[in-house]
Structure 1
Amino acid sequence: MTTLIVGASGATGKLLVEQLLKAGQKVKVIVRPTSNFPDAWNNHDRITVIPSNVTEMSVGEIARHLAGCQAIASCLGHNLTLKGIFGKPRKLVTDTVRLLCKAALESTPERPIKFVLMNTAGNSSVNESVSVKEKMAVALIRLLLPPHTDNEKAADYLWNSIGQQNPLMEWVVVRPDTLTNEREVTEYAVQASPTRSAIFNPGKTSRINVGHFMAMLITDEDLWEQWKGQMPVIYNIPKTASPIKIHRQEVGLF
């Protein structure tokens, strides 16, 4: 299986590439020519590096790169700088998701292409209810942090424009909570909806666990069938947590 990845040079994207390679997969990565990515990628027989700014590519160009791919993954996000947060492009993730989806649909695959989008636990699914207090906080965040709105609209595009019954594309939106850096994959739980407030009582999710779960979605058909068309939330399981409290029927445990 071959996966086309955008945002591959980011902190989580690099880990996703690593996890897919460990699973014996091939990857194509679209990275800006000025991006900082491992030199080894240029000489790896299962990595195709496409040096380009994805926002400047045409639908047809991306469709050509999608030839032979069975999955798309996006770990794209805004840089945590003043320019990255408040500068252009304001709709980096949304516009890229739309572009990738149009290219995938244009390529008319023999079977549905998988699309895995990294998002955030602060973005509520369309079928989730939140408290008035949290709604007010999110409204303020939308005003102060434009990237949050971008994440919301990117997920909304998959919900509303691609839908859950599209014969050419299936999707999963992965929602980690507060991101942390760890060296190794640890135990984590996957749930259909948040079990805590991402604003007032956030949990933690290591980037390597996010990369592992995204790779598992791409390579494990049973896991894909479980979560396709949904927005699962992923949390690290604290080392001190009692396993009795983890309900395997409700939580994907890895």
Structure 2
Amino acid sequence: MNALIFGSTGGTGRQLVEQALAQGHMVTAFARNPSKLNLQHPNLRVVQGDVLNFPSVEQAMHGQEVVLSALGAPATQKDAVRSEGTRHIIRAMEKTGVRRFICLTTLGIGDSQEALPFSYKYLIVPLFLRQAFADSERQEDCIRQSALEWTIARPATLTNGQRTCQYRHGFPATEKGLKIKISRADVADFMLRQVQDRTYLRKAASLSY
């Protein structure tokens, strides 16, 4: 399929690009700094653009069949990259008729909050990740209000581990025995499976080992 990937130079985004290419997809990697991707492939097209600039998002959207987003930002960054960028993506998708949207947020958003350990809920998130979580909440609200065929992936703490294809997904917030971590490679594996799988259509799926 023709797949457009946002956040392509980040850890999870790069995994999405590499795995999508390995699966035979025609990939358009949207990046503010394309040189950071440093990847060449016959089926890869790298497009320079800013997700906060709607015209550049719309231009990249033409001819796509599925959109995957791994947008992120440093915890200290105040720009609403996740929510505003996602709003532009959704608007461009609706304008160009692209329907399938698979988006990365994080475990702890919405009804998955109870899955977080005590230290995350009452120390780490309030003290260090409050702005990022608030932006992700707004991001999910934008997605849910759209008429797109969306799926939200909510991973636990991301690691640089290998792709194992052995992870938990779609579990309730009361699930026991979670490790509260998952590799970026496995998150990308899950997200790309959703290109064809409709199990989590218009649903949010939590991910962890």
Q: How many residue pairs align between the two structures?
A: 206
Counterpart Cα distance in 1 of 2:190 and 2:109: 19
Residue of structure 2 equivalent to 1:216: 193
**Preserved contact between residue 34 and residue 46 of structure 2 (Cα < 8 Å):** no
CA–CA distance in structure 2, aligned partners of residues 15 and 34 of structure 1? 15
Matches within 5 A, 1:112-191: 113-125=99-111, 130=114, 137=121, 141-142=125-126, 144-145=128-129, 146-159=131-144, 161-162=145-146, 166=147, 169-191=148-170
Unaligned runs of 5+ in 1: 80-84, 237-254
Q: Deviations over 1:199-245 (max 9, x none)?
A: xx752211110011111111x2xx2x210111111122xxxxxxxxx
Question: What is residue 67 of structure 2 aligned with on the other side?
Answer: 72
Matched with 2:181 is 204
> Does the C-alpha gap of structure 1 residues 142 and 70 become closer, same or farther in structure 2, counting only changes over 3 Å?
farther
How far residue 139 of structure 1 moved from its aligned partner, in angstroms, is 9.6
Give 5+ residue unaligned stretches, structure 2.
Answer: none
User: After the TM superposition, which residues 1-254 of structure 1 pair with which residues of structure 2 at under 5 Å, given as runs?
Assistant: 1-33=1-33, 36-38=36-38, 40-41=39-40, 44-55=41-52, 57-58=53-54, 60-79=55-74, 85-89=75-79, 91-109=80-98, 113-125=99-111, 130=114, 137=121, 141-142=125-126, 144-145=128-129, 146-159=131-144, 161-162=145-146, 166=147, 169-196=148-175, 203-218=180-195, 220=196, 223=197, 225-236=198-209
1:54 partner SS: coil
Return the alpha-carbon distance in structure 1 between the equivalents of residues 163 and 123 of structure 2: 36
SS in 1 for 2:45: strand
SS in 2 for 1:30: strand
Query: What code does the residue aligned with 2:102 have?
Result: V
TM-aligned CA deviation for residue 178 of structure 1: 1.6
**What are the Cα deviations for residues 172-216 of structure 1, in whole angstroms up to 9, with x where unaligned?**
11011121222333411212433448xxx7522111100111111
Identity across matched positions, percent: 24
Q: TM-score, normalised by structure 2?
A: 0.86
| 1:188–1:129 CA distance, 2 compared to 1 (3 A) | closer
The normalised TM-score by structure 1 is 0.72
Runs of 4+ in structure 1 off by over 4 angstroms are 128-131
Largest Rg, 1 or 2: 1
Report the Cα offset of residue 19 of structure 1.
1.2
Provide the rounded CA distance (Å) in 2 between the counterparts of 1:208 and 1:87: 25
CA-atom RMSD in angstroms: 2.7
